[in-house]
Amino acid sequence: MNQTRDHNMAATTGGVEDLAPADPREHIEPTEAERPLSLWFVTFLCVCFGWGGYYMQRYSADYGALSYDENAGLGGAKTNVVKQVDPYVLGRRLFESVCARCHQPDGQGVAGQYPPLVGSEWVLAPGPARLIRIVLDGLQGPITVKGVAYNNNMTPHRDALTDAQIAAVLTYLRTQKDWGHNAAPVTPEEVAAIRSKTKDRAALGAWTAAELLALPEHEPAP
């Protein structure tokens, strides 16, 4: 290395004068040492480019404007299929994502606002006919649940949930082990039957408790 020149450290104000003294001199000539590129670095570059080309061709679904599934172009197993889950688990998921927002995750509801589901005589009724109607077209006006009066309105879920989903969530509510429920489960066919029977109910608005109580517990099989 070239020889470093010692500067005479004049007494400075603790400033940085000594770092930038005034007398400039000609540049020093640099050496020609130039280290070649190492081999493993070149292989690393090739591996990256190779992988890039492969991945690009494999997952671009023919550059289609409307092809959103990266595996579409290959005819392989479609990745986008919902895994089948046993109804009780599906029911719990739906309860947690839909019903819990008002009836609360613990099923106790909000005092004076939203009735509880735990131990509710409406949920544990022998036949599911009234319960299915409430979920399909909603409920309005006064209703007493476990002896407490509520007056709120529940929104319809006719087009938000399919028959299978309604059956799953009601089965979950009626057979919820931690709440000690073990009423009869609900089948999608029962839901479908009532859904078609109450086709025009949506126009008439939500059910009232009185109307529901007038209905028989069990629906005669269609």
Partner 1 sequence: MSTGSPSILRSFSPAYTEDVAQQRALLAEIDTSCRGTLLLFFGAAVVWLLIGTVFGLTASLKLHWPNFLADTAWLTFGRVRPAHLNAVAFGFASNAALAVSLWLLCRLCRVPLMHAWVANIAGVAWNLGVAIGIAGILAGDSTGIEWLEIPGYASPLLFVSYALIAIWGVITFRFRRERRLYVSQWYLLAALFCFPWLYSVAQILLILEPVRGVVQAAVNWWFGHNVLGLWFTPIGIAAIYYFIPKVLGVPVYKYSLSLIGFWSLALFYNWNGMHHLVGGPLPAWLITVSIVASVMMTIPVVTVGLNHHFTMWGHFHKLKHSPVLRFMVFGGMSYTVTSLHGVLLSLRSVSEVTHFTHSTVAHAHTGMYAFFTMVMFGAIYYIVPRITQLAWPSARLIRIHFWASALGILLYIVPLAIGGTLQGMAMINPDVPFLAPDKYSVVTMTLPYLKVRSVSGFIILVGHLAFATSFVWIVARWLKAARHRQASPTTSHV
Partner 2 sequence: MRPDMSVVWILFVSSVIVLPAVALLALRWALRNGEFKHLQKTALSIFDEEEPVGRMTDRFPDEPQGSQAHEP
Partner 3 sequence: MNYAPLVFLGVFLTLASSWVGLVLAPQLQLGRQQEVKVEETSEVYPPVRPGLAQRGMEVYKANGCIYCHSQQVRPPGFGADIERNWGQRRTVARDYLHDKPVMLGTMRTGPDLTNIGVRQTSIQWHLQHLYDPQITSKGSIMPPFRFLFEKRKIGAKPSPDALALPREFAPEPGYEIVPKPEAKALVQYLLSLKANVPLPEAE
Residues that bind partner 1 (CB under 8 A): 13-17, 19-20, 22, 24, 30, 34-35, 37, 41, 44-45, 48-49, 51-52, 55-56, 59-70, 72, 89, 92-93, 96-97, 100, 105-106
Structure token pair of residue 122: 């409406």
DSSP H stretches of helix in the chain: 39-58, 87-94, 100-103, 129-137, 163-174, 188-197, 201-204, 209-214
Structure token pair of residue 35: 């280290």
Nearest to 116 by CA among 130, 104, 127, 125: 104
Which of partner 1, partner 2, partner 3, none is residue 2 near (CB under 5 to 8 Å by kind)?
partner 2
Which of partner 1, partner 2, partner 3, none is residue 9 near (CB under 5 to 8 Å by kind)?
partner 2
Would you say 56 or 214 has its CB closer to partner 2? Answer: 56
Instruction: Return the sign of the alpha-carbon dihedral for residues 76, 81, 84, 85.
Output: positive
Interaction of residue 20 with partner 2, rule CB under 8 A: yes
Would you say 18 or 96 has its CB closer to partner 3? Answer: 96
Residues 56-75 within binding reach of partner 2 (CB under 8 A) = 61-65, 67, 72-73
What is the distance between the alpha carbons of residues 90 and 92, in angstroms, rounded to a whole number? 5
Which of partner 3, partner 2, partner 1, none is residue 160 near (CB under 5 to 8 Å by kind)?
partner 3
Interaction of residue 2 with partner 2, rule CB under 8 A: yes
* Least separation in angstroms between CB 79 and partner 1: 10
Give me the residues paired with residue 151 across strands: 142
What is the distance between the alpha carbons of residues 106 and 83, in angstroms, rounded to a whole number? 27
DSSP letter at 95 equals: I
Helix axes 163-174, 129-137, angle to 10 degrees: 130
Interface with partner 2 (CB under 8 A): 1-2, 4-5, 9, 14, 18-21, 24-28, 30-34, 61-65, 67, 72-73
